[in-house]
Amino acid sequence: MISAGQRFTPLQRLLHWLMAVCILTMLFIGVGMVSTVMPKYLTLVSIHKPLGIAILVLALVRLAVRLRYGAPSLPADLPEPMKLAAQLSHYALYALMIGMPLLGWGMLSAAATRSCCSGVCAFQRSYRRVTACMHCSGAHTSTLLSCSLP
């Protein structure tokens, strides 16, 4: 990893704010999906799916940019437990930004209904076969997904 200067690069800041807007939008859409019925629900779902894919792509790009350009160093006078907490919270945030869309995609792929989002059906069929194989072999990593398999 190449060390960064005193600030994040403009690209990192742009990705940060794009992700913030997308994640907050997804939060409000999720609340709306839980609290509404049929007509608005379908509209919210049609926004939710492509936005989830956009968040996944942005998170992967953000991770690649982060690995390439690094991050500014933490203040030298920051206590070690706080430095550790800052590092661990960043790992957790990246895990959630990548993991949540993958879980949503997995749940959609494992569902009995057929749903496409901008030509992602081929990936969904592949993912469904993989999760079905994992389910049959009793792999513990697919516990959440196996609940949705028919």
Q: Break the chain into its structural domains and give their ranges.
A: 1-75, 107-150
Q: What is the value of pTM for the model shown?
A: 0.70
Would you state the pLDDT for residue 37?
72
What tokens appear for 60 in the block? 């992967």
* Residues 108 and 115 sit within 8 Å (Cβ to Cβ): yes
Would you state the pLDDT for residue 144?
42
Would you state the pLDDT for residue 121?
53
Would you state the pLDDT for residue 116?
56
Going from the C-alpha of 145 to that of each of 5, 10, 24, 123, the distances in angstroms are 42, 38, 25, 16
Would you state the pLDDT for residue 57?
96
How far is Cα 143 from Cα 79, in angstroms, rounded to an integer? 39
Would you state the pLDDT for residue 4?
47
Would you state the pLDDT for residue 117?
54
| Residues of the chain where predicted confidence (pLDDT) is lower than 70 | 1-5, 38, 112-150
Would you state the pLDDT for residue 10?
95
How far is Cα 138 from Cα 6, in angstroms, rounded to an integer? 49
Would you state the pLDDT for residue 68?
95
